[in-house]
Amino acid sequence: MARAIIADDHPLFRSALRQALANTLGSDVLEAENFPDLVTLLQQERQIELLFLDLNMPGNKGLTGLTTIRNQFPDILVLIVSANEDIEVIQRAMDYGASAYIPKSAPLPVLMQAVSSVLNGDSWLPEHLLDRLTDRPDSKYKDFAQRLEQLTPQQFKVLACIADGLLNKQIAYELDVQETTIKQHVSAILRKLGVINRTQAGVMFHDMLKVDEESTDLHSE
């Protein structure tokens, strides 16, 4: 029975992290090298507690992978493990529901400290960044992230399609449902996000993705 998944496209890093986690999690650790494989594993393995998620891996656009996981698998604790130490990215990751943000440069004792804190129900951030994050006002994305959590997984998929510019008929085809069902989802999405039309919803979602991609690209791993 697996308790954790390491999602990273670098096999050597996955192997090193798995060995580091051996004393804490034993052999109950699975690996995924891209985001689609990760989602498949999460759908198959119902006992996963922890997810170690890389920001830059095939199929994952910055922090959008985190928002997708938090929406579809809200009970899983997500620990971001990244070489990106941009304060804005870290702030957003925590706003979007990450339980920890661990720099890839962190030594083994620090990594174990982060895992222990999360397993004990606490969030964790690098000590040398705490003051810089604590002194910052709430991110302008935090309210939108909280509204996103109200969406069902299917509504989240519909919103992503709206942000990609798809029409209801096209979304219905993509998701293999009736167009009337999509219309109902769109109405619920607008109500939950507190926006007046689908264009505004799509723009807000797209802007979040666009900024995240730009931030992570600046510090690509």
CATH number for position 10:
3.40.50.2300
How far is CA 84 from each of CA 45, 55, 59, 169, rounded to the nearest angstrom?
29, 8, 18, 39
Each residue's pLDDT expressed in tens, for the chain with a length of 221 residues: 458 999 999 999 999 898 888 877 777 889 999 999 999 999 998 889 999 999 888 887 777 888 889 888 989 999 999 888 888 888 888 888 899 999 988 888 888 899 999 988 899 998 877 777 765 555 566 777 788 888 999 999 999 999 888 999 999 999 999 999 999 999 999 999 988 999 888 888 877 655 444 444 434 44
What pTM does this model have? 0.79
Are 56 and 83 members of one domain? yes
Are 53 and 155 members of one domain? no
Helix (H, G, I), strand (E, B) or coil at 53: strand
Structurally, the chain folds into a number of domains equal to 2
Residue 141 lies in a domain: no
Residue 41 lies in a domain: yes
Which region holds residue 122: left if phi is over 0, alpha if psi is between -120 and 50, else beta?
A: beta
Residue 140 lies in a domain: no
Are 86 and 160 members of one domain? no
Supply the CATH number for residue 171's domain.
1.10.10.10
Beta bridge partners of 52: 6, 79
Exposure string for 83-109, b = 16+ CB within 10 A, e = fewer = ebeeeebbbbbbbbbbbbbbbbeeeee
Are 94 and 162 members of one domain? no
Q: In the prediction, which pLDDT does 91 show?
A: 84
Tokens of 188: 């619920």
The domain of 193 spans 150-218
Residue 176 lies in a domain: yes
Are 18 and 75 members of one domain? yes
